[in-house]
Amino acid sequence: MKTVHVPKNDGNCSESGPWSFSTPAVAATQFTAYMALLNVVIWYSVIWQGRAIEAGGSPATLMIDAGAGLLCLFLLSLVRKPKQLPTSTEGEAR
């Protein structure tokens, strides 16, 4: 079996994003759930934005969308990384 070297995440990498909040044992599952949620967001965004443009026009839809995005950015700023990530053993990784 081929061994792949994965660098240790020391928490200082700003590009690790949401994956630094979990242990490596669940990172692939978390990524899959994240991508599935992204597909759902794209699906419902097309629906509500189409209806909003028909009802109120494009500028009003843009303002609603920008407001929702700013609210999400504010909420994201409240998320903090835990001081100590739980360690996993081989038995717990299943």
For residue 18, the model assigns a pLDDT of 57
The residue count for the chain: 94
Tell me the H-state helices in 1-94: 24-56, 58-77
In whole angstroms, give the CA distance from residue 27 to residue 94: 13
Answer with the residue of higher pLDDT: 37 or 3. 37
Query: Both tokens of residue 89?
Result: 């053993």
CA distances 85 to 11, 18, 24, Å, are 10, 13, 10
| pLDDT tens digit sequence for 45-65 | 999 899 999 999 999 999 999
Tell me the residue type at 84. Answer: Q
pTM: 0.49
| pLDDT tens digit sequence for 73-89 | 999 999 887 777 666 66
